[in-house]
Structures are given as structure tokens and as C-alpha cells.
Amino acid sequence: MKIALSWLYDYLKTSQTAQELAQVLTRAGIEVKSISSLGVRVSHVRVAQICSSEKHPNADRLSVCQVDDGSGKTHQIVCGAKNYHPGDKVFLALPGAILPGGINIQVSQLRGVQSEGMMCSAQELGLEEESAGLYILPSQTPLGMELNTLLPEETILELEVTPNRPDWLGHLGIAREAAAFGAGDFHWKEEVLPPMKRDHSLFSIESLEQCSFYSLRSLHNISVKKSPLLLERRLQAVGLRGVNNIVDCTNYVMMETAHPLHAFDADKIKGTLSIRFAHEGEKLRALDGKTYTLRDVDLIIADQHGPQALAGIIGGAASSVTETTKSIFIESAVFNPSTLQASARFHHLHTEALYRFERGTQAHSALEASARVSSLILSESEAEAVEEIFVAGSLPEKRILPLRFHRVRKQLGITLCNEGISSLLKKLGLLPSPEGWEVPPWRLDLTREVDLMEEIVRLHGLESIQASHRSFTLPSTPADHAYDAAMLLRRRLLAAGLQEVKTPILCSAPPTNQNALLLRNPMGEEHACLRTSLIPGLLEVAKRNLYQKENSVSIFEIGKIFQSLPKNSLDHEESLSLGILMTGQQVPLSWRRREERSFDLYDLKGIFEHLVPGKISFSSSKTLFPSYALALDFFCDSKRCGYLAYLTPSEARELMLTGQEYSVIVAEVALSSLCKTMRDHSWQKIIPLSKFPSITRDFSLVLNKEITYDLIEQELLAAREPLLKKWMPLDTFTDVKGEKVPLGKKSLTLQFTFHHDDRTLRAQEVQPVCEHLLLRLKKTLGIEIRS
Amino acid sequence: MKEDIEQQERASLLALERATETDSLKEVRLHYLGKNGVISLLSEKMKTLSKEERPILGRHLHQWRTTFSQALETKEKLLNQRADSMAFEDLDSSLPGTSFPQGGLHPLTLLTDRVVQIFRRLGFSLAEGPDIDDEWHCFDALNTPAHHPARQEQDTFYLPDGRLLRTHTSTVQIRAMEEAVPPLRIIAPGSAYRRDEVDATHLAQFTQMEVLCVGEEITLADLKGTAEYFLRELLGPQTECRFRPHFFPFTEPSFEIDIRSPIISRKWLELAGCGMVDPAVFQAVNQRRGDSAYDPEYISGFAFGFGLERLLMILAQIPDIRMLLENDLRLLKQFSGEF
């Protein structure tokens, strides 16, 4: 909301600068978003009256005017504008004036006629951003007055008002708060409220729930004209446009008191006004020129012809105040915020009045605003007011809140005495009474004891409260364990050279996945769905980085994935998942010339095997997604909890830049099972170290290509040789020329480790064991020793 | 025989002098001191000498062996030293070291963990809640009125079944209080979602840290103490904190915390929202629990929360929040260290 400083200082007597005031408001909880100034300082521009206008002898588009600037001397001015009549008052820039655009006014010859200055538009004076034609002033504007005196430069404060304080949506409320926080003295002459009269022939409320208070003030003998300059300028300063003196006055009082008002042309209202819900399909042509088709949930003000206003939001064109209006009704009411809000949202309307009604209004301010606007209109014209104000609904009541001083001190941790607390509350206009504290009517937000406490601490400030720490012990939670496990996992992956990334949870809906959770109101198709897997996000990251010429991408993400579940399912709708993607060079480019190779499946397998040694196993996957060429199921403690896969080469090529042919390997694993296995909360028990040396033997074997390593392992296990403690592959290769190994065969070098727990093993003992093992491999798998 | 010994002695010392490498020195040693070396052979020959000559020449031979051995050792040491000093002569130690593949954590993880560690020092435990939640946990229980703008479809993501993506992690406050009786002291990092247009300072999905402390006699002073301790641990001891009155439906009184620190910014920066838990929140929890474990007459508490992306932007001077979504390895690798 915008506040004009000169306007605010009508009610706040202070010598504070805008910056000082901004600090006070910040302390009170009103955020000052910006301080700016409106208008310009120009001298030699004054109010003048056009006495006569004649056609320029040498130019069709120009005219020559005689203009009186009040000094008794007329100036000859050549002018291109057309929007004036002799007798109009305008701003005249005299020689010596420098206008905002840098225009230097001098006596000059225009097509052979001397011009002694320039008559100005609002734009040329920096008063408006865009305007056409001369700025015609109200006729009562004093002749000869300097622009600087008439319209001094205005300082505008842009405020961010929290929704709990509707009273801050007017200059009065801000002035009152600033005064309470010591910025100055609050000055406001309260209006004498007119006598109230209930008259059902004038209007009726259908539902008090929708409109708890309604009032009309009747004014006659109105003359509708342009508003006084100051009033119009103030409205412009806070972002409203001048319309006419009546509408401007209602807007002015709204920006002053924060209570919205509406003026009807009384002669155009037929019969009794009724505040009711619209009938489905009723139409209202509103002040914005648009016609709205109403629904039966839209609250309206209607006469016997139909809707005259969308209550609290916008008035109708038919009963609006025009130049011919002679008498008016000033409406001041209290409407249900949510009803208005729903209507406005449906009809895509947002008005200053709505903004205030939806935050909350009350009958006291309604009456005050009505009285204020009446006296403002009466002071500007020869209008007459009907003495009474017609009202319906509930009138304001006193609100009294109890407050326990000891509780204030306890809850806030402050040491103020009772008198100290009372004096703070009095600053805010609260009045002590035997039952508690009487809340001023405009403080709709104060309804409980705790609300008063907030006021006390707001005024007292947190600076003077002594900081403290209360300590008590609590056991760690399952969330603690889950967090620690995930961090441990992260650090293990980091040690394996993987970089963590974070990809968006909202993604485009996968074309095939039936389990995806879709949003009802997404922001575009690309963010319509909660991700069901981390892999698409990781692929995007790989793509971006490969495009940036990164030659090695090994990344992981730990994050939530989502799936919709059938009823009674024991699975979780949301679960933490680990995704890994590797592609490109396995080791960074270096002058060391180590073996250069790209990432493959074994790199990824190795990472998982080392996460929880001995508890991880794999088997080839039966279910293959179309984009995967080869997949392994991943088991943790014999429970399937994910997979590893090669992207099909054609999918991988799509990711790459031309000329690169790296494989892309991905994995996705459910975190809960993995973490449970990694951290089972029992200490690792040691295996005593053997005192006796072990013996190793290497054998190079030749075998059919189809025989996989796990088959050999099964045979070695089945051999049940107690001395054989360990085996590992040292090397494997094939030869396309059939020289080193025959075609269709492969070479595999195996290392056996033998060990006896109780004594030193001798070579002679190992020999028969080796022979047995090799014989077994030969018999069952046809494996030969390579010569 | 005597001449023979003397000649051999001279030759041995000359050979020693001429040996300039460890290999040739080894040969010299072998030649003179070896099993079948010159000295051994001469000793052998002694047997043929007369009783008078034998002790004299024997002494001479022994002396020669001793001096020669010593000289040899000295020479050996010298040559070893020279060889040692030459061993890495050709090495260019100014070449860069071997690079190993380096992993790293995402800066948001690093920051989250730093924050978690600070609160753990104060005795806070972690808590969690679902990203998909219901209106009751996200709004009703947090004292947000039915017509509040935040509930509108234009601000909050809804699922077809009427549930929503939580707009703040404050939902975890409610879930934690539903599950456990006071005292309670939790932190909850997590995702939150708002239907904001994505720009340099806004994301539709972002990360928040929620802090809640509830018990008997928890006061505003505890909130102040905890918040200030946290911010100074995180941002340095010279950090100034300012509590600016604000409004949140679920706390009363409510504040925004601004910070100012010479190492970050001379301007006040808005960092977090906080306040004392509104009694209406406790009452909603009691109603759901079916007891009065959180009776606002006896139980009080404070809550505060902040956006981790925003904090990260301030700390790491990231001008555009979207850079955190791009996962450009060139940027992520800059966070190899911890915060």
C-alpha cells in the first residue's frame, strides 16, 4: 500500500524524515518496501488563465493565446494543443523554467510569432507518466500560484501490510501506529456521528451473515465537478485516478480511514435497495464498462430493476455518479470477507475496496467514514445532507479482553511491572476497565489474551529481553537415524568419487507409468507430476554437463520419489531413493597416462559392493524397461531393493554430443532397506587375526565364452575345501584372432588363497587341493588350464 | 712375499680410489675381501712362511685388511650418498599431483548438515513428515482461516483427491505434536511447494528448515536465545540479529529475523520467520489427539523456519536461485569443502 508523506503528516505531527519514520514503522511491524518521490521541483511555472486564443497566421496546427499569469501582465504564447477554451486555467512555464525533460523555456519565435513561454501538459511537468493536451486546472485554483507551492514534491512510502492489520490500510491507521511507537503526536478530530435511524422502506438486508451492517447517508443539491487539485493529486500519489468530486471524496476517505465507501446516484435507484445474493444469470454492467453475469453466490446491492453493485467490489454503471447527478446515497457497510473474495476471484476483479473488505471491516469505522465523507463533500460544495443516517444490522459493541499480568511476564520472559505493561497498552488506545481491557473498534485482530501479549512485546521490543536457553534431554528419533544413515551413505558415495546433485521433484508426466501422482493445478505440463524415479532427472543433468564438454559424469541423488497406491497397500506413497548415473571417462585426463577407459557396469557394481561388504548381491533382471539394454536386480540382505542397468546404446547416443560413444550406466535403489543394512545399530564384532601365513596360487584357465563367473563360484563353493578361504579373478580376456585363446573361448586367471587357522600350511598340503579344484572345474564346466 | 703384500696393498688402495660407482666398488671389495679374494689367498700363503716371518707379515696383513675395510666403508658411504642425492635429480617436482576422481556433496546438503549440527549441539532431534499432506495439517491446524489467500488454487498445488503439496514444513510441527507429548524439541528440513512463477528469487519447490521447541515455561527469551545462538554459530560471532514484528497465523507474537554481519552484508537481510506457538495451534493438536497434552495454560513453545536456498544464496553469493537447479558440475565442484 502507498502512503503519501504529506497526507500522513496531516494526522501525525512530527519533524521526522521519511527515513526515520520508515525505521519506526519497521519496528512496529510495517515493512517499508521503498521510499520514492513524486513530482518535481521546478520554478517559473505558475497558474495562469487563458484570456483569448486565435489561429496562428502561418501555421494551421498552432494557435496564439493571450495568457494572464496573475501579475497583471499578459503573455503571448504559441500553443499546439486543442483541449482548452478561453477562461481555462493552466500551468504556464515562463522563460527561465527548466522542465523535467530538460526543456529550457525561453522567449522564442515560432513560425514568425513570438512566444513568451509554454503552457504545459501533466506529462511535461512530470506529474503523470502519460498525458495528452494541456493540464486544465479546476477553476477555483488561485491565479499566479507557483507549481511548487500548489503541488510540492511528494514522498511516497510503499508499505507491506500484514493481513492481520486492516486498520493499517489507511493513512490514519499508520499515523496512529507511528505515534504509538513514538514518531510524533497523533492528531485527528473525530467526526460527530449523525443520529441513526432504522428505516426499512429504504433498504433491507437479506442475510446478516453476509452483511452485518449497512448504512446510507442521503445528500442533496450536489454539483458534480472536477475535484480540488490537492485532493486529486493525493489520490494520484497513492495510485488512484481522479474521477469527479463525489467519487474522489469517497476514495479519499477510504485511503484515509481504510473503510471503503460507495456513492449511488439517488435518483437512479428505484424502490427499496436490497442486500442479497444475485439470482443465477442476473447481469450487472459495472463501472469498468464490463458486464458481469452473476451467480447465486455473488452478494449484490439491488433495486427493483436489478443489481446496482457487486457488494464491496465494484459499483454498477447505471446508478453511478455522473455530471447530471443531483442527489446521492453514500453507502458504508460491513460485508462477509470470504463471500466477497470468492466473487472477486470468480469474476477476476481486484479493487481497492475489495482489498480492504476481504481483510476485515467493522461498523464503527463504517459510521465514522460515512460521516467524514459527508462533511468533506459539504465543505467543498453547497450540498445539503439529510440529518440522520439510515442503518440496518448490528451496531458496534464494546470488546473487553482479560489480561493476567503475571502470565505476560511468564510467557514473554520479561520483567515489566503491571504499570509498565498498562502504559504500553494505553499507547495503543486500549482502555482499562474493571473486567479487563477495552479494545478500540478498529483493532479487529485483538480477540484473545495472547493477542494483547503480542502488542506488549511489540512495543517493548525484543532487544531488552534477556536471551536464555532451556535444556532438557530427549532420545534420538527414527528421523535422526534416517538422517544419519543418509549422510553416511552420501559420504561413502562421495569417497567413491561421485558428485551429489539435486533435481526437481515436479516433472512432466511419464507416458507409461500408471502409478504417477498428477497435480490438479500444475504450472505447465513440464511440472504436472511428482517424480516416480530419480533417473530422468539424472539423465537431464548428464545431458547438460556433457553439453558443457564435461568428459566424466558420475553423479548421484538422494531424494523422495512418489507413487500412487491402491487402497490397503502396505507400501509408502513417498519414499527416499538413491539414484546413480555414470558416463564418460573413468579417470580424469592427466599427464600420468594411466589407463584411459570409460565407466562401465563394474564400476557401479563395485560402488554398491563396497557400501555393505558381504550383504549385497545381484542377479540379472527379468523385467527390463525399454530404455535399458541390460539390467541387474540389486539385493540387499537378500531383499530386492533396486536395479543397475545399461542404457541402450541408441538412448545413450541421444544424450551425447556427436563423436562421443560412452556407455551410460544407471542405478536406482530404495534407501530404506539399504540404510537399514548399512547401519544396524550394533557394533561390528572383530574376527581375531590369524598368526599363520596363507598360501596363494594363480591359475590361468581357458573356458567357453558362455560360462559366467558365478557358475565357477558355485562350483568352488560346492567343492567344500576347508583350506580354500578366498578366490578372486585377476584377469580375463578373449582374442578375436584366436591366437592367445581359441575362438569361442576366453581366458580367466584365478587366484586361490589357502589358509589353516591353527598352523602354518605347507606347500605339499595345498597341491592336492588345487588338483581337486581344477579337476572339478574341468569335469563340470570343461575348464582347462591354459598352457 | 713381503714385496708382494706391499705391492698388493698399494694396488688395493689405488683400486679403491678409482672406483667411482657402487658397482665397481663392489667388485673391488670382492677382489680383495671376498672368500677367494687377494687377502684370503695371501693369508693362505702365510702357512708356508717361516715362524719368524709369519707373525710380522701376519700383523702387516691384518693392518692392511683393517685400513682397507675402513677405507672401503668410507668410500661406500660416500658413493651411496652421492647416488642418493642423484636418485630424484630428473624429477620435476613442480608438475601437478596425480588427480583422483573427487566426489562432492550438493551445497544444499552441506548447508542443511551444518544447520542440523548446530541444532544438535542444543539438543534438538530430527523429525519428518510427508510432502503430500492434507488441508488440516497445512492450514486448519496452523490457525489459517478458511478464506486465507494461501489456500487458493493459484498459490497451492492440489492433488485430484483434495490433498496438497505442503506449502511450508510447519506441517511437521503438527505431526510431531500429534505423535509425542511435550517436552519436544525438533528440527525438520524438507521440501515445500508454492505455485510461484520461477524467477531469480523464487522456485515452485524449495527447501525449508522448521524448528519447534515446546515444553513448560518456554518463553520468548528462549526463542531469542536459540535463534541468536544458531545465527551466530552459522554466520559468525559478530552477527547482529534484529527481531521485527510480523504476522503468521500460527505464532503469536510473530517476528521476522533480520541479520547483519560484516562478513556477509552491511545491510539488514531478512532470514527467518519465528514466533511463540499460537494457543489455537495447541488446541487443534489437542483436539486431534483427544487429550490435553498441549494445554496452552501450562505448555508454551516457539517455532521458527527459514528457506535454505535463500540462506545459501546469501552465504555463497549466488545471484540467481535457478543456478541451484541446473546441477552444472562446474558450479557444484566449487563446493568441495564443507561450510
Q: What is the CATH number of the domain that holds B260?
A: 3.30.930.10
Average per-residue pLDDT in chain B?
Answer: 91
Same domain, B55 and B146: no
Mutation site for A-interface testing, chosen from B111, B112, B113, B126 by largest number of A Cβ within 10 Å = B126
At B337 the pLDDT is 62
At A681 the pLDDT is 61
Whether A595 has a pLDDT exceeding 80, the answer reads no
Residue entry with cell 589407463: A595
Same domain, B209 and B176: yes
| Residue B183 included in any domain | yes
The total of other beta-carbon atoms located within 10 Å of residue A28's CB is 20
User: Nearest Cβ partner of A521 from B158, B220, B225?
Assistant: B158
Q: CA A190 to CA A117: how far, in whole Å?
A: 47
| Residue B99 included in any domain | no
Q: Which of A112-121, A351-360, B18-27 tops mean pLDDT?
A: A351-360
Same domain, A173 and A263: no
Confidence of residue B257 (pLDDT cuts 50, 70, 90): very high
Which chain A residues are Cβ-neighbours of B329 within 8 angstroms? 499, 545, 548, 550, 553, 555
User: For the segment A238-248, what is each residue's pLDDT rounded down to a tens digit?
Assistant: 989 888 999 99
Which chain A residues are Cβ-neighbours of B296 within 8 angstroms? 450
Same domain, A704 and A645: no
User: For the segment A639-658, what is each residue's pLDDT rounded down to a tens digit?
Assistant: 888 999 998 888 888 777 65
Q: CA A529 to CA A519: how far, in whole Å?
A: 6
Q: Do B125 and A477 touch (CB under 8 A)?
A: yes
At A545 the pLDDT is 92
Show the domain range for B58: 2-87
Same domain, A21 and A166: yes
Mean pLDDT on B299-324: 94
Mean pLDDT on A590-619: 85
Confidence of residue B171 (pLDDT cuts 50, 70, 90): very high
At A445 the pLDDT is 92
Confidence of residue A566 (pLDDT cuts 50, 70, 90): confident
Confidence of residue A144 (pLDDT cuts 50, 70, 90): confident
User: For the segment A89-120, what is each residue's pLDDT rounded down to a tens digit?
Assistant: 999 998 888 888 788 888 988 888 889 999 98
At A659 the pLDDT is 63
Which chain B residues are Cβ-neighbours of A587 within 8 angstroms? 101
CATH number, domain containing residue A53: 2.40.50.140
| Residue A253 included in any domain | yes
Q: How are beta strands A552-562 and A499-500 bridged, if at all?
A: parallel
Question: What's the total number of domains in chain A?
Answer: 6
Boundary residue ending a domain (B40, B59, B87): B87
Residue entry with cell 514518531: A183
| Residue B93 included in any domain | no
User: For the segment A262-284, what is each residue's pLDDT rounded down to a tens digit?
Assistant: 999 999 999 899 999 999 999 99
| Residue A732 included in any domain | yes
Question: For residues B168 and A623, which has the higher predicted lDDT (pLDDT)?
Answer: B168
Q: Do B104 and A500 touch (CB under 8 A)?
A: yes
User: Nearest Cβ partner of B325 from A165, A342, A504?
Assistant: A504
Same domain, B39 and B180: no
Same domain, A703 and A764: yes
User: For the segment B133-152, what is each residue's pLDDT rounded down to a tens digit?
Assistant: 999 999 999 999 887 777 88
Q: What is the CA radius of gyration of chain A?
A: 43
Boundary residue ending a domain (B53, B87, B121): B87
| Residue A690 included in any domain | no
Q: Could you give the percent of chain A with pLDDT greater than 90? A: 59
Same domain, A518 and A653: yes
Same domain, A340 and A424: no
Packing angle, helices B107-121 and B220-235, rounded to 10: 130
Whether A589 has a pLDDT exceeding 80, the answer reads no
User: For the segment A119-129, what is each residue's pLDDT rounded down to a tens digit?
Assistant: 988 888 877 76
Whether B338 has a pLDDT exceeding 70, the answer reads no
Which residues touch B171 (CB under 8 Å, ≥6 apart)?
Answer: B129, B133, B137, B138, B142
Whether A568 has a pLDDT exceeding 80, the answer reads no
Q: Is A136 helix (H, G, I), strand (E, B) or coil?
A: coil
Same domain, B311 and B178: yes
Whether B17 has a pLDDT exceeding 90, the answer reads no
Whether B258 has a pLDDT exceeding 90, the answer reads yes
Residue A626, all three cell numbers: 525399454
Confidence of residue B194 (pLDDT cuts 50, 70, 90): very high
Mutation site for A-interface testing, chosen from B135, B329, B331 by largest number of A Cβ within 10 Å = B329
At A658 the pLDDT is 57
CB B322 within 8 A of CB B198: yes
| Residue B94 included in any domain | no
CATH number, domain containing residue A239: 3.50.40.10
Question: What's the total number of domains in chain B?
Answer: 2
CA of B197 vs chain A CAs: smallest distance (Å): 8
At A335 the pLDDT is 96
A252, A760, A762, A769 from A692: Cα distances, Å: 99, 5, 11, 19
Same domain, A546 and A612: yes
Whether A465 has a pLDDT exceeding 90, the answer reads no
Q: Do B95 and A591 touch (CB under 8 A)?
A: yes
Which of A357-361, A467-471, A526-530 has the lowest average pLDDT? A467-471
Which chain A residues are Cβ-neighbours of B131 within 8 angstroms? 505, 530, 560, 562, 574
Boundary residue ending a domain (A431, A460, A489): A460
Which residues touch A241 (CB under 8 Å, ≥6 apart)?
Answer: A235
The total of other beta-carbon atoms located within 10 Å of residue A326's CB is 14
| Residue A134 included in any domain | yes
CATH number, domain containing residue A168: 3.30.56.10
| Residue A467 included in any domain | no
Query: Does A337 touch chain B if contact means CB atoms closer than 8 Å?
Result: yes
Q: Do B221 and A497 touch (CB under 8 A)?
A: no
Same domain, B154 and B193: yes
| Residue B178 included in any domain | yes
Same domain, B179 and B299: yes
Same domain, B81 and B119: no
User: For the segment A384-398, what is each residue's pLDDT rounded down to a tens digit?
Assistant: 888 889 999 988 788
Same domain, B72 and B125: no
Boundary residue ending a domain (A393, A417, A432): A393
| Residue A470 included in any domain | no
CA of B29 vs chain A CAs: smallest distance (Å): 38
| Residue A207 included in any domain | yes
Q: CA B108 to CA A304: how far, in whole Å?
A: 64
Mutation site for B-interface testing, chosen from A335, A346, A449, A483 by largest number of B Cβ within 10 Å = A483
Query: Does A464 touch chain B if contact means CB atoms closer than 8 Å?
Result: no
At B339 the pLDDT is 55
Show the domain range for A588: 479-678
| Residue B98 included in any domain | no
User: Nearest Cβ partner of B221 from A26, A466, A483?
Assistant: A466
Same domain, B69 and B123: no
| Residue A689 included in any domain | no
CATH number, domain containing residue A631: 3.30.930.10
| Residue B61 included in any domain | yes
